[in-house]
Amino acid sequence: MEGVSQQAIDLFWLRYGKDNSFPRSIERLVALALPLTIIRLSLLSMRAVENWLRQRGVPFRFNCQSRTIRGCLVAFAGRGLIFIDDADSEDEQRFTAAHEIAHFLVDYWLPREKAIQKFGPSIADVMDGLRGPTPSERFGAILVNTRIGIYSDLMARNEDEPHNMDVWQIEDRADSIALELLAPQHAVLSTMNIAPLGSFSQRVEAVDRTLRVGFGLPASVSGSYSRFLLRSIGRGPSWMESLGFG
C-alpha cells in the first residue's frame, strides 16, 4: 500500500487502539477514533445533503447538478459529517462509511495536520476560509493543493461527466483504505485454509464467503477483493485457467 494510505491507516489505529473483532462496527470506529458523525438519510442525494445542512444553518452548495449518491463527506474546522443512504444494506452502509473515513483521513485530515505542523495552529483559519494567507503561507507547498473552506469529497461533478484519471485514483485509494480498515489482508488470510482448494474459482468462492460472512463486506466489493488477496499471495489462476481452461 502506498505511503499516504499506510500513513492514514496507521494514524487511525493509533487513535483508535487495537480491535480484532469482525465484522467491525463503523459507529464504534468513528466514535472512538475520529471527529466524525454519521448521518443516515432516506433516498440520499446531493440535494438532500444540502437541505439537511441548510436546515441547520449551513448554506452549503455542491455547485453542480444533484444526483443520487450512496454516501459523501462534508468537513469543516477539523470535523466532518458522513452521509449514508439508509436504504442500503448494513454491509453496503459499512463499506460506504469506511470509504468516506478514508477520504476524511487522506484528503482532509492529514493535509490539515501537516499544514498545522508546518505553520502553527493559526493556519487553520486560512484552511477554514476565515482569513487570507500571509505571503509566507501563500507560497507554502502544503497549501498549494489544499481546499479552502468546507470540504466535500469529489462530489462537484455532473452525473454524465466522465471520471478523469485523478478522480479514479483517489477513489481507488479510498476503497483500498476502506478494505484495510474493515478486512485487513492478514486477518482475512489467517482465518482461512485455502491450500486444499483446487481451482481458482473455488478459492475465490471460499475467500468471498469469508469476506461477506466473517467481515461484513458487501458483495459489490467482496469478489474483486477476493481475487486481489489470492493473487497477492501467489494463489491466483494457473496459466491454464488464465487461458480459459480448467
> For residue 92, what pLDDT band results from cuts at 50, 70 and 90?
very high
Please give the sequence-ordered ranges of beta strands (E in DSSP) within the chain, or none if there are none.
36-41, 71-76, 79-85, 151-152
- Kindly tell me if the per-residue pLDDT of 221 is higher than 60: yes
Please give the residue that has the higher pLDDT: either 194 or 14.
14
Edge-to-edge strand list for the sheet holding 79-85 = 36-41, 79-85, 71-76, 151-152
Q: Tell me what pLDDT residue 193 has.
A: 77
Q: Tell me what pLDDT residue 96 has.
A: 96
Q: Check: CB of residue 245 under 8 Å from CB of residue 209.
A: no
Domain assignments of the chain as residue spans, ordered by start: 3-182, 185-242
Q: Tell me what pLDDT residue 246 has.
A: 57
- Kindly tell me if the per-residue pLDDT of 158 is higher than 50: no
**How many C-beta atoms surround the C-beta of residue 17 within 10 A?**
8
The verdict on pTM exceeding 0.85 is yes
> For residue 12, what pLDDT band results from cuts at 50, 70 and 90?
confident
Question: Taking residues 9-26, what's their average pLDDT?
Answer: 84
Residue 147: burial class (beta carbons within 10 Å; 0-12, 13-18, 19+): middle
- The pLDDT > 90 percentage for the chain reads 45
Cα 35 from Cα 19, distance rounded (Å): 19
Cα 176 from Cα 15, distance rounded (Å): 20
> For residue 20, what pLDDT band results from cuts at 50, 70 and 90?
confident
- Kindly tell me if the per-residue pLDDT of 153 is higher than 80: no
- Kindly tell me if the per-residue pLDDT of 159 is higher than 60: no
- Kindly tell me if the per-residue pLDDT of 91 is higher than 80: yes
The distance from CA 242 to its chain's CA centroid, rounded to whole angstroms, is: 31
Q: Tell me the C-alpha to C-alpha distance, in Å, between residue 168 and each of 9, 64, 70, 90, 171.
A: 20, 19, 17, 25, 5
Please give the residue that has the higher pLDDT: either 164 or 177.
177
- Kindly tell me if the per-residue pLDDT of 7 is higher than 90: no
166-217 tens-digit pLDDT: 778 889 999 999 999 999 998 998 888 776 778 889 889 999 999 999 999 9
